[in-house]
Structure 1
Amino acid sequence: MAHVFAFWESRAFYDSFMARSHDRLAATQAGTFRDAQVRLFDHKFDVKTGFEPRFTDTDLLRVALCRVHEERAEHFTLMQEKVWNPAMAGSPGMVRGLFGEAPGNEFLVLSMWQSSAEHGKYRTERIERLALRAQLEADVAALTGDLVDLEPAWTV
């Protein structure tokens, strides 16, 4: 499995790429992958510091995709800002991240870590406590995620 992340300066640049270049580029990649899933998220706020799509100082990404109950979307966003972000920001190995939103009450939490070992210090009992405090089970209808080891040769 591969994860590909693209960060656009503006929606206008994204729309221009899709209108002018996407189909031509996609045609040259036919047969090189299967089961692609594409989602477009709008940046809502940063996690820890000002987000930059720079990967030279990180070795690991944590990706969480959350589908939230419609009536709980506002609460989920508030808890991300008031509970989860401070907890991640206080973890020494966490470099930066972002929180994004897509139509249909879908959210992305992308956090960048110095290493798997540093991310490992953040997990298990701490996450369970934070999930209870944030009422995560009441907010989230579905949660999928992955840890992504970065491959420097694939970064452009």
Structure 2
Amino acid sequence: MLVKWIRCKVVDRRGFERGQRKWAGLPGEPGFRGQGGGWSRGRQGVAHTFSFWESRAFYDSFMARSHDRLAAAQSGTYQDAQAKLFDHRFDVKTGFEPRFADADVVRIAHCRVHAERVEHFALMQEKVWNPAMAGSPGMLRGLFAQAVENEFLVLSMWQSTAEYGKYRAERVERLSLRAQTETDVAALAGDVVDLEPSWTV
């Protein structure tokens, strides 16, 4: 599965949200699995969207045919758009499905890992971070995905802000030490996204 993550700074919120509704046409696209998104909790006016495709071939076909027509509705409503593609490597918890209706919050961690530490980083995600997140009551599902050789996205969906807050307060520092995260990671950027139900496709 291919994951596309877009982050942008919105300059016309009403126009952007109106344009966001135009993406309702996506379910007719071959290989499309789901899309959702919302507003950054920590950065004013920053929007995130996440879309999921069965394969790179289906995604490329969509980009060549329908993308520009759908995207035109949001033209001029945002700036500094950054789009990144990742290949799904494994689930956090089990049976990841790109559904957003039961989640309030998405947590993302975007990591650039030292080249010689990539395998260790992936192993720690599987053996240390995944069981801890999967054992948190409010964590619904998530995935671990890889872009170029040493760039990764960890995306997790949570039932509520309160549940995510509990997990973070209790466990992140301890787990980070155990997984040697500081040794593995060259750069880390994260965000917490409040999902907008009307953006779910």
Q: What's the TM-score bracket when you normalise by the shorter of the two chains?
A: over 0.9
1:100 to 118, 123, 145: 145
What secondary structure sits across from 1:2 in the alignment? strand
Cα deviation for residue 153 of structure 1 reads 1.2
What secondary structure sits across from 1:96 in the alignment? strand
Matched, 1:49 2:94: yes
Give the alignment's TM-score, normalised by structure 1.
0.95
Matched, 1:154 2:181: no
Cα deviation for residue 24 of structure 1 reads 3.5
Matched, 1:79 2:124: yes
Quick one: distance in 2 between partners of 1:6 and 1:27? 17
The equivalent of 1:64 in structure 2 is 109
Aligned residue identity for 1:64? A
Cα deviation for residue 21 of structure 1 reads 2.1
Cα deviation for residue 30 of structure 1 reads 2.0
What secondary structure sits across from 1:50 in the alignment? coil
Quick one: distance in 1 between partners of 2:187 and 2:109? 10
Give the alignment's TM-score, normalised by structure 2.
0.75
1:7 to 41, 46, 52: 52
Quick one: distance in 1 between partners of 2:167 and 2:175? 11
Cα deviation for residue 20 of structure 1 reads 1.6
What secondary structure sits across from 2:58 in the alignment? helix
Cα deviation for residue 26 of structure 1 reads 3.5
The equivalent of 1:31 in structure 2 is 76
How many percent identity over aligned positions?
78
What secondary structure sits across from 1:121 in the alignment? helix
The equivalent of 1:130 in structure 2 is 175
5+ long unaligned stretches in structure 2: 1-45
The equivalent of 2:162 in structure 1 is 117
Matched, 1:140 2:160: no
Point out 4+ residue stretches in structure 1 off by more than 4 angstroms: none
What secondary structure sits across from 1:18 in the alignment? helix
Quickly say closer, same or farther: Cα 1:13–1:69, change in 2 above 3 A: same
Aligned residue identity for 1:89? A
Cα deviation for residue 124 of structure 1 reads 3.1
What secondary structure sits across from 1:51 in the alignment? coil
After superposition, the CA RMSD in angstroms is 1.2
Measured against aligned partners, the alpha-carbon deviations of 1:80-122 in whole angstroms (never above 9, x if no partner) come to 0000000000000100000000014110000000000000110
Cα deviation for residue 28 of structure 1 reads 4.1
Aligned length: 156
5+ long unaligned stretches in structure 1: none
What secondary structure sits across from 1:84 in the alignment? helix
Measured against aligned partners, the alpha-carbon deviations of 1:121-149 in whole angstroms (never above 9, x if no partner) come to 10134111100110000000010011111
